[in-house]
Amino acid sequence: MKKKILILAGGYSKERKVSQDTGNEVFNALKKKYNVRLLDPKGDLILQLKTFKPDIVFNALHGRFGEDGYIQSILEKEKIKYTHSGVLSSFLSIDKQLSKLIFSKNKIKIPKSFVFCFQNFFTKKKFINKVNKICSFPVVLKPINEGSSVGVFISNKKNVIRNLKKLSQYSKILVEQYIPGREIQSAILGNKKLGAIELIPKRKFYDYEAKYNKNAKTKHVMPAPLSKKNYDIVNTIALKAHKLLKCRGVSRSDFRFYKNKFYLLELNTQPGMTSLSLVPEIARYNNIDFLSLIEKLLKDASINK
Ligand SMILES: Nc1ncnc2c1ncn2[C@@H]1O[C@H](COP(=O)(O)OP(=O)(O)OP(=O)(O)O)[C@@H](O)[C@H]1O
Ligand SMILES: [Mg+2]
């Protein structure tokens, strides 16, 4: 009998559309070999799990609810094997404030930053002084737990308060030192280095359009054209971060490379698997086709992680 795979895609986060694309790609890859169903998890998720009784859940969700330990804890409680990282690892990785603390405590270089809480009283002058003291301008404002560059603003002194106000829906945000230089991302699969890719956006930075719109013409260079030593360094840092956060399956770490140093921006436990996504591209370079990549993740699925 064919194994029953339930793909969870869509969800409630701002990356819903990206997750649906990931889910569709995974569905098309698996449908011939497996008894596969695609589900947009809504209020009746537990009922759906009990009805379909999947052997494995493939988690194709991104962002809050799908990537932050929430869905993982439901699957743990229902004792259904699922792909990718577990509850704690997901919770720590999606939270840039917490994961940055862990990275810096373990001597991984990260941009300087501070957390700004909207409920605290502040004046324009006070905010600008703090930026000057800790990060200097230009500065990056970003939500603590979004993805796909949603809410990321590279700001100068003139527009920083305007951009700050655009983020007031979040209770707190990260204010981060802007690191010029190159955009390098490194993937880890099953505790092994998979490789690093360079992204060269035509837009001002690697924003949502540059990530998902083919017409934005972001150049992907695989493998990243670094010296052999630096190529190994970036993949070694990614593996260290993956292990520190006790990730499972696959992870993708995002770096800036400036003056011969790598700065880790974040680690993603649910990296995209759309046709423009980077992990499948890095895997392909290693002769791992899309179906084999998905099957490696299925093989690693478990509970109690
Ligand atoms: N400190 C920084 N210095 C320079 N560029 C930055 C910085 N922080 C973010 N960026 C730019 O914004 C992009 C998105 O930032 P980041 O990876 O932190 O956000 P994200 O929304 O979680 O991304 P993902 O889609 O990988 O989940 C980066 O890839 C980079 O191009
Ligand atoms: Mg990123």
Q: Is 5 helix (H, G, I), strand (E, B) or coil?
A: strand
Q: Indicate if 48 and 136 belong to the same structural domain.
A: no
What pLDDT does 197 receive?
Answer: 98
What pLDDT does 83 receive?
Answer: 98
In the reported structure, the alpha carbon of residue 112 is separated from the centroid of ligand 1 by a whole-number distance in angstroms of: 14
What pLDDT does 142 receive?
Answer: 97
Q: Indicate if 36 and 117 belong to the same structural domain.
A: no
Q: Indicate if 99 and 209 belong to the same structural domain.
A: yes
- 268 as an active site residue: the answer is yes
pLDDT tens-place string over residues 73-113:
999 999 999 999 999 999 999 999 999 999 999 999 999 99
CA-closest residue to ligand 1 atom 19: 149
- 258 as an active site residue: the answer is no
Mean pLDDT of the chain: 96
In the reported structure, the alpha carbon of residue 56 is separated from the centroid of ligand 2 by a whole-number distance in angstroms of: 27
What pLDDT does 80 receive?
Answer: 98
Q: Mean pLDDT across the stretch 196-217?
A: 94
Q: Indicate if 242 and 98 belong to the same structural domain.
A: yes
Q: Indicate if 195 and 156 belong to the same structural domain.
A: no
Q: Indicate if 239 and 251 belong to the same structural domain.
A: yes
CA 136 to CA 149: how far, in whole Å?
A: 21
Q: Is the CB of 67 under 6 A from ligand 1?
A: no
CATH number at residue 19: 3.40.50.20
Sign of CA pseudo-dihedral 248, 281, 264, 145: negative
**Residue % of the chain over a pLDDT of 70:** 100
Q: Indicate if 26 and 124 belong to the same structural domain.
A: no
Q: Classify residue 167: in a domain, yes or no.
A: yes
Q: Classify residue 190: in a domain, yes or no.
A: yes
In the reported structure, the alpha carbon of residue 265 is separated from the centroid of ligand 1 by a whole-number distance in angstroms of: 6
Q: Indicate if 212 and 250 belong to the same structural domain.
A: yes
For ligand 1, pick from 149, 253, 273 the residue to mutate: most ligand atoms within 8 Å of CB. Answer: 149
Q: Is the CB of 146 under 6 A from ligand 1?
A: yes
Q: Mean pLDDT across the stretch 22-43?
A: 96
Instruction: Reply yes or no: is the peptide bond before residue 201 cis, omega within 30 of 0.
Output: no
Answer with the one of 177, 194, 218 that is the final residue of a domain: 177
- At which residue do the structure tokens 């932050």 appear? 68
Q: Classify residue 305: in a domain, yes or no.
A: no
pLDDT category of residue 42 using cuts at 50, 70 and 90: confident
Quote the tokens at residue 138: 């230009």
Q: Is the CB of 127 under 6 A from ligand 1?
A: no
Q: Indicate if 126 and 251 belong to the same structural domain.
A: no
Q: Classify residue 65: in a domain, yes or no.
A: yes
Q: Is 250 helix (H, G, I), strand (E, B) or coil?
A: strand
CATH number at residue 155: 3.30.1490.20
Q: Mean pLDDT across the stretch 45-70?
A: 96
What pLDDT does 121 receive?
Answer: 76
**Are the CB atoms for 297 and 249 separated by under 8 Å?**
yes
- 300 as an active site residue: the answer is no
Q: Is the CB of 152 under 6 A from ligand 1?
A: yes
pLDDT tens-place string over residues 244-257:
999 999 999 999 99
Parallel, antiparallel or unpaired: strands 56-59 and 139-143 = unpaired
Q: Give the number of the atom of ligand 1 that is nearest the alpha carbon of residue 113.
A: 1
Q: Classify residue 218: in a domain, yes or no.
A: yes
Quote the tokens at residue 220: 């992907």
Q: Give the number of the atom of ligand 1 that is nearest the alpha carbon of residue 149.
A: 21
Q: Indicate if 158 and 135 belong to the same structural domain.
A: yes
SS3 content of the chain, % helix, strand, coil (to 5): 35, 25, 40
Answer with the one of 177, 204, 232 that is the final residue of a domain: 177
Instruction: Provide the 8-state DSSP code for 216.
Output: G
Q: Which of 254, 256, 263, 277 is catalytic?
A: 254
Please give the angle made by the CA atoms of 237, 241 and 244, to the nearest 5 degrees. Answer: 135
Nearest ligand to residue 153 Cα: 1
What does the buried/exposed string (b/e) look like for 276-304 if buried means 16 or more CB atoms within 10 Å of the residue's CB? bbbbbbbbeebebebeebbbbbbebbeee
Is the pLDDT at 187 greater than 90? The verdict is: yes
Q: Is the CB of 10 under 6 A from ligand 1?
A: no
Q: Which of 251, 272, 277, 300 is catalytic?
A: 272
CA 45 to CA 61: how far, in whole Å?
A: 14
Backbone phi and psi for residue 195, each to the nearest 5 degrees, phi listed first:
140, 170
Q: Indicate if 120 and 244 belong to the same structural domain.
A: no
Nearest ligand to residue 96 Cα: 1
Which amino acid makes up residue 222?
M
Is the pLDDT at 280 greater than 90? The verdict is: yes
Q: What is the strand order of the sheet 35-39 is part of?
A: 35-39, 4-8, 56-59, 81-82
Q: Indicate if 100 and 238 belong to the same structural domain.
A: yes
What pLDDT does 158 receive?
Answer: 96
Is the pLDDT at 190 greater than 90? The verdict is: yes
Q: Classify residue 262: in a domain, yes or no.
A: yes
Based on its alpha-carbon atoms, the radius of gyration of the chain, rounded to whole angstroms, reads 19
CA 45 to CA 142: how far, in whole Å?
A: 31
CATH number at residue 292: 3.30.470.20
**Residue % of the chain over a pLDDT of 90:** 93
Q: Is the CB of 264 under 6 A from ligand 1?
A: no
Domain assignment of residue 279, given as a range? 93-108+180-299
- 266 as an active site residue: the answer is yes
- 212 as an active site residue: the answer is yes
CA-closest residue to ligand 1 atom 31: 206
Q: Classify residue 62: in a domain, yes or no.
A: yes
Angstrom CA distances, 67 to 16, 55, 108, 120, 290, stand at 12, 21, 23, 28, 21
Is the pLDDT at 29 greater than 90? The verdict is: yes
**Are the CB atoms for 39 and 71 separated by under 8 Å?**
no
Q: Classify residue 165: in a domain, yes or no.
A: yes
Answer with the one of 143, 177, 211 that is the final residue of a domain: 177
Closest CA to 42 of 66, 73, 78: 66
Give the contacts of 44 (CB within 8 A, at least 6 positions apart). Answer: none
What pLDDT does 276 receive?
Answer: 77
Q: pTM here?
A: 0.97
Number of domains present in the structure of the chain: 3
Residue 268, judged by CB atoms within 10 A of its CB (0-12, 13-18, 19+), counts as buried
Is the pLDDT at 275 greater than 80? The verdict is: no
